[in-house]
Protein backbone atom coordinates (compact mmCIF):
# COMPACT_ATOMS: atom_id res chain seq x y z
CA UNK A 1 0.00 0.00 0.00
CA UNK A 2 1.43 3.35 -1.02
CA UNK A 3 1.85 6.04 1.60
CA UNK A 4 -0.59 8.89 1.21
CA UNK A 5 1.08 12.15 0.28
CA UNK A 6 0.78 15.33 2.30
CA UNK A 7 -1.05 16.97 -0.61
CA UNK A 8 -3.62 14.19 -0.64
CA UNK A 9 -4.06 14.14 3.16
CA UNK A 10 -4.61 17.90 3.44
CA UNK A 11 -6.54 18.13 0.18
CA UNK A 12 -9.03 15.47 1.25
CA UNK A 13 -9.44 17.15 4.63
CA UNK A 14 -10.05 20.57 3.02
CA UNK A 15 -12.58 19.38 0.46
CA UNK A 16 -14.43 17.12 2.92
CA UNK A 17 -14.81 20.02 5.34
CA UNK A 18 -15.98 22.32 2.54
CA UNK A 19 -18.63 19.88 1.39
CA UNK A 20 -19.95 19.38 4.93
CA UNK A 21 -20.08 23.12 5.64
CA UNK A 22 -21.85 23.97 2.39
CA UNK A 23 -24.33 21.12 2.81
CA UNK A 24 -25.18 22.12 6.39
CA UNK A 25 -25.36 25.90 5.81
CA UNK A 26 -28.50 27.26 7.44
CA UNK A 27 -29.56 23.91 8.89
CA UNK A 28 -31.37 24.04 12.20
CA UNK A 29 -30.13 21.93 15.11
CA UNK A 30 -30.97 21.85 18.83
CA UNK A 31 -29.48 24.90 20.53
CA UNK A 32 -28.65 26.70 17.27
CA UNK A 33 -30.76 29.75 18.13
CA UNK A 34 -28.88 30.21 21.39
CA UNK A 35 -25.50 29.82 19.67
CA UNK A 36 -26.47 32.45 17.09
CA UNK A 37 -27.74 34.74 19.87
CA UNK A 38 -24.41 34.51 21.68
CA UNK A 39 -21.97 34.45 18.78
CA UNK A 40 -23.89 35.63 15.73
CA UNK A 41 -24.56 33.82 12.48
CA UNK A 42 -21.47 31.88 11.37
CA UNK A 43 -19.67 33.18 8.30
CA UNK A 44 -20.19 31.17 5.09
CA UNK A 45 -17.39 28.76 4.28
CA UNK A 46 -16.32 30.82 1.27
CA UNK A 47 -15.78 33.89 3.49
CA UNK A 48 -13.86 31.94 6.09
CA UNK A 49 -11.35 30.50 3.60
CA UNK A 50 -11.04 33.45 1.19
CA UNK A 51 -9.05 34.07 -0.99
CA UNK A 52 -9.46 30.34 -1.66
CA UNK A 53 -12.57 28.36 -2.43
CA UNK A 54 -14.12 24.92 -2.17
CA UNK A 55 -11.32 23.24 -4.11
CA UNK A 56 -8.07 22.54 -2.31
CA UNK A 57 -5.55 25.23 -3.37
CA UNK A 58 -2.52 22.96 -3.04
CA UNK A 59 0.64 23.13 -0.97
CA UNK A 60 2.54 26.32 -0.17
CA UNK A 61 6.03 26.78 -1.57
CA UNK A 62 9.03 26.74 0.71
CA UNK A 63 10.37 30.25 1.45
CA UNK A 64 13.66 31.26 -0.09
CA UNK A 65 16.74 30.76 2.10
CA UNK A 66 18.92 31.13 3.94
CA UNK A 67 17.12 29.70 6.98
CA UNK A 68 18.02 29.98 10.62
CA UNK A 69 19.35 26.85 12.29
CA UNK A 70 16.27 24.72 13.05
CA UNK A 71 17.65 23.23 16.26
CA UNK A 72 18.62 26.63 17.65
CA UNK A 73 15.23 28.08 16.79
CA UNK A 74 13.47 25.15 18.45
CA UNK A 75 15.52 25.52 21.63
CA UNK A 76 14.71 29.24 21.78
CA UNK A 77 11.00 28.61 21.17
CA UNK A 78 10.89 26.05 23.97
CA UNK A 79 12.60 28.45 26.34
CA UNK A 80 10.30 31.34 25.36
CA UNK A 81 7.13 29.29 25.87
CA UNK A 82 8.30 28.07 29.26
CA UNK A 83 9.23 31.64 30.23
CA UNK A 84 5.80 32.86 29.15
CA UNK A 85 4.16 30.38 31.51
CA UNK A 86 6.45 31.43 34.35
CA UNK A 87 5.88 35.16 33.81
CA UNK A 88 2.11 34.74 33.45
CA UNK A 89 1.83 32.39 36.41
CA UNK A 90 -0.11 30.06 34.11
CA UNK A 91 0.19 26.66 32.48
CA UNK A 92 -0.78 27.60 28.94
CA UNK A 93 2.00 25.51 27.40
CA UNK A 94 3.68 23.54 30.17
CA UNK A 95 1.69 20.32 30.00
CA UNK A 96 2.42 20.04 26.27
CA UNK A 97 6.05 21.15 26.07
CA UNK A 98 8.69 18.51 25.42
CA UNK A 99 12.12 18.15 27.00
CA UNK A 100 13.74 19.06 23.68
CA UNK A 101 12.89 19.43 20.00
CA UNK A 102 12.00 16.32 18.01
CA UNK A 103 11.95 15.45 14.33
CA UNK A 104 8.79 14.16 12.66
CA UNK A 105 10.29 10.66 12.46
CA UNK A 106 10.53 10.60 16.26
CA UNK A 107 6.82 11.20 16.74
CA UNK A 108 5.45 7.62 16.91
CA UNK A 109 7.92 6.56 19.60
CA UNK A 110 7.49 9.84 21.45
CA UNK A 111 3.71 9.47 21.41
CA UNK A 112 4.02 5.93 22.74
CA UNK A 113 6.31 7.08 25.56
CA UNK A 114 3.83 9.80 26.53
CA UNK A 115 0.82 7.50 26.33
CA UNK A 116 -0.60 9.27 23.27
CA UNK A 117 -0.84 6.34 20.86
CA UNK A 118 -4.52 7.03 20.21
CA UNK A 119 -5.59 9.75 17.84
CA UNK A 120 -7.34 11.66 20.62
CA UNK A 121 -9.34 14.48 19.04
CA UNK A 122 -7.31 14.47 15.85
CA UNK A 123 -9.17 13.56 12.65
CA UNK A 124 -6.38 11.27 11.42
CA UNK A 125 -3.79 8.84 12.75
CA UNK A 126 -0.19 9.28 13.76
CA UNK A 127 1.13 8.01 10.40
CA UNK A 128 -0.73 10.74 8.53
CA UNK A 129 0.35 13.36 11.05
CA UNK A 130 3.98 12.33 10.50
CA UNK A 131 3.55 12.77 6.73
CA UNK A 132 2.32 16.34 7.24
CA UNK A 133 5.00 17.21 9.77
CA UNK A 134 7.75 15.70 7.62
CA UNK A 135 6.67 17.95 4.75
CA UNK A 136 6.71 21.04 6.99
CA UNK A 137 10.09 19.99 8.32
CA UNK A 138 11.46 19.93 4.77
CA UNK A 139 9.80 23.16 3.60
CA UNK A 140 9.84 25.35 6.74
CA UNK A 141 12.44 23.83 9.09
CA UNK A 142 9.87 22.84 11.71
CA UNK A 143 10.57 20.80 14.83
CA UNK A 144 8.03 19.33 17.23
CA UNK A 145 8.31 21.12 20.60
CA UNK A 146 4.93 20.28 22.13
CA UNK A 147 2.59 17.31 21.94
CA UNK A 148 -0.69 16.16 23.48
CA UNK A 149 -3.78 14.18 22.51
CA UNK A 150 -5.40 17.39 21.30
CA UNK A 151 -2.43 19.63 20.47
CA UNK A 152 0.78 19.81 18.45
CA UNK A 153 3.25 22.70 18.69
CA UNK A 154 6.11 23.20 16.23
CA UNK A 155 8.94 25.68 15.92
CA UNK A 156 9.55 27.27 12.51
CA UNK A 157 13.06 28.03 11.25
CA UNK A 158 11.85 29.62 8.00
CA UNK A 159 8.96 31.97 8.83
CA UNK A 160 7.38 33.75 5.87
CA UNK A 161 7.21 37.52 5.50
CA UNK A 162 4.54 38.22 2.90
CA UNK A 163 0.74 38.02 3.02
CA UNK A 164 0.55 35.77 -0.03
CA UNK A 165 3.00 33.26 1.43
CA UNK A 166 1.20 33.32 4.78
CA UNK A 167 -2.22 32.73 3.23
CA UNK A 168 -0.94 29.72 1.28
CA UNK A 169 0.39 28.24 4.53
CA UNK A 170 -2.81 29.15 6.37
CA UNK A 171 -4.71 26.96 3.90
CA UNK A 172 -2.55 24.02 4.98
CA UNK A 173 -3.15 24.89 8.63
CA UNK A 174 -6.90 25.04 8.04
CA UNK A 175 -6.87 21.62 6.40
CA UNK A 176 -4.71 20.23 9.22
CA UNK A 177 -6.73 21.80 12.05
CA UNK A 178 -9.78 23.83 11.07
CA UNK A 179 -10.46 24.50 14.79
CA UNK A 180 -7.44 26.82 14.79
CA UNK A 181 -9.50 29.24 12.72
CA UNK A 182 -13.18 28.41 13.17
CA UNK A 183 -12.87 28.26 16.96
CA UNK A 184 -9.89 30.55 17.46
CA UNK A 185 -9.29 34.28 17.89
CA UNK A 186 -8.92 34.74 14.13
CA UNK A 187 -12.17 33.71 12.47
CA UNK A 188 -11.02 33.85 8.86
CA UNK A 189 -8.06 32.41 7.02
CA UNK A 190 -6.82 35.87 6.06
CA UNK A 191 -6.84 37.12 9.66
CA UNK A 192 -5.15 33.94 10.85
CA UNK A 193 -2.44 34.29 8.21
CA UNK A 194 -1.72 37.88 9.19
CA UNK A 195 -1.75 37.32 12.95
CA UNK A 196 -0.46 33.77 13.40
CA UNK A 197 1.87 33.08 10.47
CA UNK A 198 3.62 36.19 9.15
CA UNK A 199 7.00 36.32 10.90
CA UNK A 200 6.02 33.70 13.48
CA UNK A 201 8.48 31.03 14.60
CA UNK A 202 5.92 28.91 16.43
CA UNK A 203 2.78 27.22 15.08
CA UNK A 204 0.29 25.67 17.48
CA UNK A 205 -2.54 23.34 16.47
CA UNK A 206 -5.44 22.00 18.50
CA UNK A 207 -8.52 19.88 17.97
CA UNK A 208 -11.76 20.14 19.93
pLDDT of 29 above 50: no
pLDDT tens track for 2-17:
468 999 999 999 999 9
pLDDT at 140: 97
Percent of the chain at pLDDT above 70?
82
- Selected residue with higher pLDDT from 4 and 188: 188
Domain-wise residue ranges, the chain: 1-208
User: Rounded to an integer, what distance in angstroms lies between the CA atom of residue 151 and that of residue 149?
Assistant: 6
pLDDT of 43 above 70: no
pLDDT at 35: 45
pLDDT of 89 above 70: no
Q: Residues 97-112: what's their mean pLDDT?
A: 91
Distance of CA 207 to the CA centre of its chain: 9
CB atoms within 10 A of CB 66: 6
pLDDT tens track for 66-75:
899 999 999 9
Question: Which ranges of 40-196 does DSSP label H, i.e. alpha helix?
Answer: 45-49, 70-88, 107-113, 126-140, 163-176, 179-182, 189-192
Beta bridge mates, 191: none
How far, in Å, are 2, 156, 170, 198 from residue 44 at the CA level?
Answer: 36, 31, 18, 25
- Selected residue with higher pLDDT from 87 and 169: 169
Amino acid sequence: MHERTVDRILGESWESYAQEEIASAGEHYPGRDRVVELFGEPDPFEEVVAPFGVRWPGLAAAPAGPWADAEQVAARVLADLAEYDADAGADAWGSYLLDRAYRSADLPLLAEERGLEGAGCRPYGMDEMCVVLRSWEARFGTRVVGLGDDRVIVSVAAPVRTTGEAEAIAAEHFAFSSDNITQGHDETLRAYAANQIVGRQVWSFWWD
